Structure 1
């Protein structure tokens, strides 16, 4: 039994497994928990029995790959053969030193700054639940779930000016706008919107990434302005990724219909489609059959990667953990696949990078990645 398992793992490493055999190995790996200490003898024995059972009773499973194949196989071989957490003492010592510095880098959480029209700044993380501000019949309050809400009591036509809600790196927040539209803000994002929308339109300005569930109002179209495009809707669900350090602005439609206009032309999107506006060329294209779950994974507290390069992965990690990333040497162009919970500490994410032979050094809040 043991020899059969080892043989399969060797085949997996060399890429000679059938899709069914590869799925068995990868599914077993995904069941391994992220441990903060080396696995004990009992856990190793239990894990061996689990994989042996799967080897003797193969079945079709959903193939989920966590980053790279070599990472999966390396993890299995380490736990399966020796029960060691690292390849050797030198690797163990270096990894533990980095992990010690990483262990206190917690994932992001709900935190944001609200700037009112009169210049008042409210730290929503520190603000107590209940009323935050009141002006001419509009009450701004923080709900028990942390969400920011606007309650309109009287005719708000006399209210003018804009609010700005901003999340830092390592923060996220949800706001319910005066018209009932719900917006989820990702890290390093700001949204500018009026106290009260006009009678003929609703306009907000976005920097960063946000998911919108727009309240239906046929008389007043809802427009989202970013640095290089305008998205217009009546009532729908969509996601906009407009970070300036990304190569393009992506607008993904989940429900309803939207029009994306970059000043040179426009595209009408249907559910499952995504517009991609290149920052350099201003060329606007459309992608169909988009994986919607992946595009809004951040809203569901997941990092989701599908054929992403290392720098794309690290841009997301940088924003969520509030760390800077520096690259040295020849950085790998290999692609990464899989999901990582966004509530993981940075040390757990580092574990995956280490298994993929990524050399990471930490100084303060700067991660230096050296290419092989």
Structure 2
């Protein structure tokens, strides 16, 4: 049967036989009818537009609402299927994109631990990679709970001795306020006290790269080499020298080594070691130099030795000691 104007009109009025209705609906579904389904278009408008194409071709002008009922069921099924498909795709995209975002955020948000020592306190800390750090008094060590990336990075201030676990694939970097120390596996002492204008590194074993935080000045330090980053003159200055490394790490074994220090410098060390306050009331005494070596000493033992050698007296008032 050929679809013509009369058949279309009867189909529109609901007067077609089941066979005729099937033929007309097949024709409506074919490319010949030239219908389209643009996105975000109301179903009723689609029906109206489709009917206008048909009625325009055959010069039929009934109400468009009627034709909507002809094909709307078919269109609705198509659009419902498409909507369901888009919903599934959208849900999958949302899930995986959010999963990726969450994973990325979780990778970026790293949990950190912070260990502090007070005056008169020393502490040994083992890091997640097996690195062992001995913290001297008044030190702060901040490190991630796990080293997840290609670098093992941490932040530090104070004085500490590092025994770095070797891992060539993950360089170990210590950041201080003004400097950076980078190693693969080594043992070194780092002194970066907030009360001092210098930061120093002494290497006992292995090799480190020591630099200012801008990397403009850097040196390679090996065993028994000391690097000093000095800010006392205003402009940063990085220098190196040959030293006896054991002297700089004696504190780790509770050896108090005062090597040709002024009484003022020695007093600062004693304040940190014993959590006390020292005042020097005798003119010129703070510039006089003292050398002494003690193994796990008491404060009284140290003060009596210094007072005898330097010919001064001291008195105690609570946690404060006055040299005069």
TM range (shorter): 0.5 to 0.7
Say whether residues 1:276 and 2:253 are aligned partners. no
Say whether residues 1:295 and 2:248 are aligned partners. yes
* Aligned positions of 1:299-310 closer than 5 A: 299-310=252-263
Partner of 1:367: 321
Partner of 2:185: 235
Partner of 2:302: 349
TM score, norm. by length of structure 1? 0.55
SS in 2 for 1:340: strand
Say whether residues 1:266 and 2:213 are aligned partners. no
- Paired residues in the alignment total 213
Structure 1 runs of 4+ aligned residues shifted over 3 Å read 156-159
The structure in which a higher percent of residues are helix is: 2
Partner of 1:189: 139
Shift of 1:199: 2.1
Q: Where does structure 1 lack aligned partners over 5 or more consecutive residues?
A: 1-155
Kept in 2: contact 1:159–1:196 (CA 8 A): no
Kept in 2: contact 1:212–1:238 (CA 8 A): yes
Partner of 1:178: 128
Partner of 1:207: 157
SS in 1 for 2:122: strand
Say whether residues 1:312 and 2:272 are aligned partners. no
Question: How far apart in 2 are the matches of 1:331 and 1:297?
Answer: 29
Structure index of larger Rg: 2
TM score, norm. by length of structure 2? 0.62
Shift of 1:298: 0.1
Shift of 1:338: 2.7
Question: How far apart in 1 are the matches of 2:274 and 2:113?
Answer: 26
Shift of 1:158: 9.6
Partner of 1:331: 284
Kept in 1: contact 2:143–2:153 (CA 8 A): yes
Q: Where does structure 2 lack aligned partners over 5 or more consecutive residues?
A: 1-105
SS in 2 for 1:348: helix
In the alignment, which of 287, 312, 318 is matched to residue 358 of structure 1?
312
Say whether residues 1:321 and 2:274 are aligned partners. yes
SS in 2 for 1:165: strand
Question: How far apart in 2 are the matches of 1:349 and 1:247?
Answer: 27
RMSD: 1.8
Higher relative contact order, chain-length normalized (CA < 8 Å, sep 6+): 1
In the alignment, which of 203, 207, 212 is matched to residue 253 of structure 1?
203
